[in-house]
Amino acid sequence: MGTLYLVATPLGNLEDITLRALRILREASLIATEDTRTTGQLLKHFDLHRPLVSYFEHNKVTRLERILSALAEGDVALVSEAGTPLLSDPGYELVRAAIERGFPVVSIPGPSALGTALPASGLPTDRFLFLGFLPRKAGDRRRLLQEVAAQKATLVFFEAPHRLRETLADMGDCLGLDRPIAVCRELTKLYEEIWRGTLAGASREWQQREPRGEFTLVVGGAPAPATWNQAQVEAELARAIVAGVSVKDAVRQVAAQSGWGRREVYALAQQVKKAQAEE
């Protein structure tokens, strides 16, 4: 009976691979990988010659029995395209099936975009919530962001470059434009960058620049309830509505920032809108 090893591989800098990971990859009878080309290049660099089998989102069901059969004969290593397996990558079903059939499962720690971005973000690390990739559809994405808007823990997301601008805009609407964020790009690679500021600033920054590379977004948790007075709430509502923000979005933003209930803020928003129309 073999062991299923979950092996973390470099995000970009090959020096980040561990000696233990190299030994496991050298000794495994089979390596299951999200991308055979990327893993093949990694093995070639370290002069490792092991058989590969693809295991990704669209073939994970059909590949499952083949990998489990290989486990019955010897050790199998599971790797993702880069970083730590199962963190927003396929593998849960394989691990669950291996456990149910009595195979040992051992994690080989190493590189992770989550573990690399969070400590360098400058945001609290004592409590955090990792949400992986946000939904592709705008409505689903905004609903999820609204669900976590009151979380006081630091939030961590992965995002693709072609969706970054939309995601930052939705985050500003749902979490509040003043939330701190660290936009981490191309971690451990040649053009690594960590941009720190607010959601409002990040949205402006990446509207002016073409998003390139892989992104990890670290967002500050919900602030302690503020103690705004009515004049402050009305002023912020007026500013948002004049700027073209819908009443619904303005109410959500101001309620999140002020500590007031949404019903109270909505009632004030109607008064503000009426007053603006009469001017």
Q: pLDDT of 229-243, one tens digit each?
A: 899 999 999 999 888
Whole-structure pTM value: 0.80
Residues 74, 70, 3, 86, Cα dihedral to 10°: 150
Average pLDDT over the chain, rounded to an integer: 94
On the question of pLDDT at 12 being above 90, the answer is yes
The first and second tokens of residue 31, run together, are 């390596």
Q: Residue 273: its pLDDT value, please? A: 86
Percent of the chain with pLDDT over 70: 99
Q: Residue 119: its pLDDT value, please? A: 98
What is the sign of the dihedral through the CA atoms of 69, 74, 75 and 76? negative
Mean of the pLDDT values across residues 46-57?
Answer: 95
Tens of pLDDT, residues 134-186: 999 999 999 999 999 989 999 999 999 999 999 999 999 999 898 999 999 99
Tens of pLDDT, residues 197-219: 999 999 999 999 999 999 999 99
Q: Residue 260: its pLDDT value, please? A: 83
Task: Give me the helices (H) in the chain, please.
Answer: 19-27, 36-45, 60-73, 92-100, 113-120, 138-148, 164-175, 199-208, 230-242, 247-258, 262-278
On the question of pLDDT at 226 being above 70, the answer is no
Q: Residue 256: its pLDDT value, please? A: 78
d(CA 197, CA 205): 10
d(CA 5, CA 25): 9
On the question of pLDDT at 73 being above 90, the answer is yes
